[in-house]
């Protein structure tokens, strides 16, 4: 499967007992290592008010990582547009492109909850899901409802702190249109006034849209002829509908003449299955902290994870994510990734791996790359 590129999605996780400073140093080291291992891209997510995640600003971390690497593509997975303007986004990535031309991926996410008028109803897919599996056996768990997260006090506080008082986020589709116009250099306001983002205008960046369902994000990516990432690692239940909705909406553009999809997956690889399961033990409590709206905790050690007192409600809260994390030997995980690629028709796969120990995390990426290149 070496013809299917692998990329990296990094949340800049903070292990328990460590610090944000060490997490950043780990990230820079991991970017250097994965560049040597042959990974195609290194992306950063954007998260706020999470004690266990240091990746609050993709552009800032990209600036640090770009200077430490030379060939791997670097980008955002994703910039959350609900918290910023089109102009600030283009100018930030224009600054990065000015010093690292031709290496930038501008991944755009929506954030801020469901847009006006969009429902949470499932969208039918042409690939039937039977007994929780796609036709080729890929695990497709029941849908998880994010409503309690969007209505939580922490989420409301995050929105309050990230927005200027009285500000109303722009419609996502309009915002993406403005970003594309600013990058092309043909932006015009309603009254005809021109705006030229320098740096930014003419920047040699690849624009991606990231989405977890077959809703607005997939539609915006398709109608603009942009690359699309379907987030199996965030919402495994809706990965098929997301990829299908994007392809159905796709219109050829100056960016692409046919659809291009990457799909993300949570992965932990070790020399054998037992070791990998030990390294992945902290994943369940970590996902629980996100799903309960308390914010991602520092990633636990295996011993700390085993000490967690699980309730049935806790287990149900994280089941879809834990059941779809790919954990095991290089051969086992590569088989599962091949299954994910086949079910979704992915052109690329984006790998996110978190372990408590940095060396274990780097080794996981190395073992996977070596196995992938042998196929």
Complete DSSP assignment for 45-65: ----S-TTB--S-HHHHHHHH
d(CA 368, CA 364): 6
The predicted structure's pLDDT at residue 115: 42
Q: Which residues contact 46 (CB under 8 A, 6 or more apart)?
A: 55, 56, 57, 58, 76, 78, 79, 80, 83, 109, 111
Residue pair 279/254 in contact by the 8 Å Cβ criterion = no
Choose among 178, 181, 346: nearest CA to 247.
Answer: 346
Residue 179 CA: distances (Å) to CA of 106, 113, 141, 195, 208: 10, 21, 35, 11, 12
Is 343:349 a contact under the CB 8 Å cutoff? no
CA atoms 148, 151, 153, 158: torsion sign: positive
In the chain, what is the greatest distance between 2 CA atoms, to the nearest angstrom?
64
- Cα 19 from Cα 152, distance rounded (Å): 27
Nearest CA among 110, 112, 339, 140 for reference residue 219: 110
Provide the pLDDT for residue 155. 87
The C-alpha atoms of residue 99 and residue 55 are separated, in whole angstroms, by 22
Provide the residue-wise pLDDT of the chain in tens; the chain has 375 residues. 669 999 999 999 999 999 999 999 999 999 999 999 999 999 999 999 999 999 999 999 999 999 999 999 999 999 999 989 999 999 999 999 999 999 999 999 997 544 444 444 445 566 678 889 999 999 999 999 888 888 888 888 988 899 888 888 899 999 999 999 999 999 999 999 999 999 999 999 999 999 999 999 999 999 999 999 999 999 999 999 999 999 999 999 999 999 999 999 999 999 999 999 999 999 999 999 999 999 999 999 999 999 999 999 999 999 999 999 999 999 999 999 999 999 999 999 999 999 999 999 999 999 999 999 999
Q: How far is CA 300 from the centre of its chain?
A: 21
Q: Do 121 and 90 contact (CB within 8 A), yes or no?
A: no
Question: What is the CATH topology of the domain spanning 6-113+125-374?
Answer: TIM Barrel (3.20.20)
Distance CA 180, CA 160 (A): 28
For the chain, the domains span: 6-113+125-374
Q: How far apart are CA 44 and CA 61, in angstroms?
A: 8
pTM for the predicted model, two decimal places: 0.94
pLDDT for res 112: 56
The pLDDT value recorded for residue 118 is 46
> SS3 for 39?
coil
d(CA 343, CA 349): 12
Q: Can you name the residues that pair with 107 across neighbouring β-strands?
A: 208
Residues 278 and 366 sit within 8 Å (Cβ to Cβ): no
Structural contact between residues 326 and 266, judged by C-beta atoms closer than 8 angstroms: yes
For 191, counting Cβ atoms within 10 Å of its Cβ (0-12 exposed, 13-18 middle, 19+ buried), the class is exposed
pLDDT at 124: 58
Concatenated DSSP letters for 321-348? Answer: HHHT-EEE-HHHHHHHHHHHHHHHT-SE
């Amino acid at each position: 499967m070496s013809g299917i590129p692998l990329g990296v999605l990094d949340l800049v996780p903070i292990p328990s007992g460590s610090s944000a400073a060490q997490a950043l140093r780990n990230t820079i080291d991991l970017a250097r290592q994965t560049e040597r291992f042959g990974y195609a891209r290194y992306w950063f997510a954007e998260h706020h008010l999470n004690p266990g995640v240091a990746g609050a600003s993709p552009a800032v971390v990209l600036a640090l990582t770009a200077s430490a690497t030379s060939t791997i593509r670097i980008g955002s997975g994703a910039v959350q547009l609900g918290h910023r303007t089109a102009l600030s986004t283009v100018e930030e990535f224009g600054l990065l492109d000015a010093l690292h031309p031709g290496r930038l991926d501008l991944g755009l996410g929506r954030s801020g909850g469901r847009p006006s008028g969009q429902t949470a109803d499932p969208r039918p897919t042409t690939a039937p899901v039977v007994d929780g599996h796609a036709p080729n056996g890929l695990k497709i768990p029941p849908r998880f409802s994010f409503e309690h997260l969007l209505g939580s006090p922490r989420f409301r506080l995050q929105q309050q702190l990230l927005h200027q008082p009285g500000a109303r986020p722009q419609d996502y589709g309009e915002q993406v249109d403005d970003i594309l116009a600013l990058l092309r250099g043909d932006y015009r306001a309603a009254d005809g006034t021109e705006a030229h983002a320098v740096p930014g205008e003419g920047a040699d960046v690849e624009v991606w849209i990231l989405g977890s369902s077959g809703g607005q994000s997939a539609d915006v990516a398709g109608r603009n002829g942009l690359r699309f990432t379907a987030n199996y690692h965030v919402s495994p239940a809706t990965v098929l509908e997301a990829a299908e909705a994007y392809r159905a909406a796709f219109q050829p553009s100056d960016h692409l003449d046919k659809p291009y999809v990457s799909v993300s997956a949570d992965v932990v690889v070790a020399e054998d299955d037992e070791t990998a399961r030990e390294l992945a033990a902290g994943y369940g409590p970590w996902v629980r902290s996100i799903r309960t709206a308390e914010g991602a905790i520092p990633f636990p050690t295996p011993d700390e994870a085993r000490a967690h007192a699980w309730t049935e409600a806790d287990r149900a809260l994280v089941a879809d994510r834990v059941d779809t994390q790919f954990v095991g030997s290089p051969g086992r995980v590569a088989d599962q990734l091949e299954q994910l690629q086949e079910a979704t028709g992915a052109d690329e796969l984006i790998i996110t791996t978190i372990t408590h120990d940095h060396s274990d995390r780097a080794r996981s990426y190395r073992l996977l790359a070596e196995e992938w290149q042998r196929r």
